[in-house]
Amino acid sequence: MTVHEHGRYSTGVEDLPYRSVPEAAVGRLAVYLRVLTSMIEQGVTTMSSEVLAGAAGVNSATLRKDLSYVGSYGTRGVGYDTARLVEHIERLLGLTRHHSIAVVGIGNLGHALANYPGFPDRGFPVTALFDVDEDLIGVPVGGLPVDHVDSIPAICAEREVTIGVICTPVPAAQGVCDLLVAGGVRCILNFAPVVLQVPDDVEVRRVDLAVELQILSFHQVRRGNGIGPVVEPIDPIAVSR
């Protein structure tokens, strides 16, 4: 059991001030939010759980239960007021204020993220870029100049960065992570295929594309959709040598 010095609450996330919301539900709520905003742009003012669930790709009972974490803001016999629902979901997800993002490692992936307008549009302004490559320092990417990694702690603290995005090669990821934590960043999105070690009060989410591909590969083979010759059984004698 890994009990670190930071482990204030040992039983996980029990002592929450509000009703406990399952992690899986939080992710789905973010999806509902996007569907709803898209619907609102099309002039939809009311939606039933059945329709919204269909658009979000989930069971309608699951959707209603998820929304019950937000509160009871539907009207029986009618459905949900889209605008009001958006407001309350945003509140629950903490989107009532902006969360500054810092991107570290302005290579192929970092460039794409730094230029992506979808983040600032959703309340996640990119306010700092970092790299170790001298040729990149000072160069503006997406309108923001790149700073040196050494200044991560100072700049992150100064600009109140709440989310750090790591797009560096694997060997640099842990060091960059430590710098972000030193700068007060408590939420990290990690694209480097490595498991980061962080204090208990830091939340890391990993986006691992190779793992996604391998899960797809598993389903492909398991499903028997193999195109070529696929899985020949291992010869136990040859294996045990």
Kindly tell me which residue out of 150, 160, 175, 182 binds a copy of itself, with binding defined by CB under 8 A.
160
In the list DNA, a copy of itself, ligand NAD, none, the entry touching 182 (Cβ below 5 to 8 angstroms by class) is none
Q: Yes or no: say if 141 and 107 are a contact pair by the CB < 8 Å rule.
A: no
Q: Which of residues 112-151 bind a copy of itself (CB under 8 A)?
A: 112-113, 115-116, 118-119, 122, 124
Binding status of residue 3 toward a copy of itself by CB under 8 A:
no
Q: What residues does 163 pair with on adjacent strands? A: 101, 187
Minimum distance between the CB of residue 46 and DNA, rounded to whole angstroms? 9
Minimum distance between the CB of residue 210 and DNA, rounded to whole angstroms? 19
Kindly tell me which residue out of 47, 176, 181, 188 binds ligand NAD, with binding defined by CB under 6 A.
176
Minimum distance between the CB of residue 70 and DNA, rounded to whole angstroms? 9
Kindly tell me which residue out of 99, 120, 132, 137 binds a copy of itself, with binding defined by CB under 8 A.
99
Cα Rg of the chain (Å, integer):
22
Closest CA to 176 of 211, 197, 152, 156: 152
Question: How many positions of this chain bind ligand NAD (CB under 6 A)?
Answer: 27
Closest CA to 130 of 166, 169, 96, 78: 166
Please give the C-alpha separations between residue 135 and each of 84, 107, 150, 231, in angstroms, as whole numbers.
48, 12, 15, 48
Instruction: Mention every residue, 6+ apart, whose C-beta is less than 8 A from residue 85.
Output: 32, 36, 67, 70, 73, 74
Residues 191-230 vs a copy of itself: string with x where CB under 8 A? --x-x-----x-x-x-xxxxxxxxxxxxxxxxxxxxxxxx
The amino acid that residue 203 corresponds to is: E
What residues line the site for DNA (CB under 7 A)? 1-2, 7, 9, 11, 22-25, 47-50, 58-62, 64-65, 67-68, 72-80
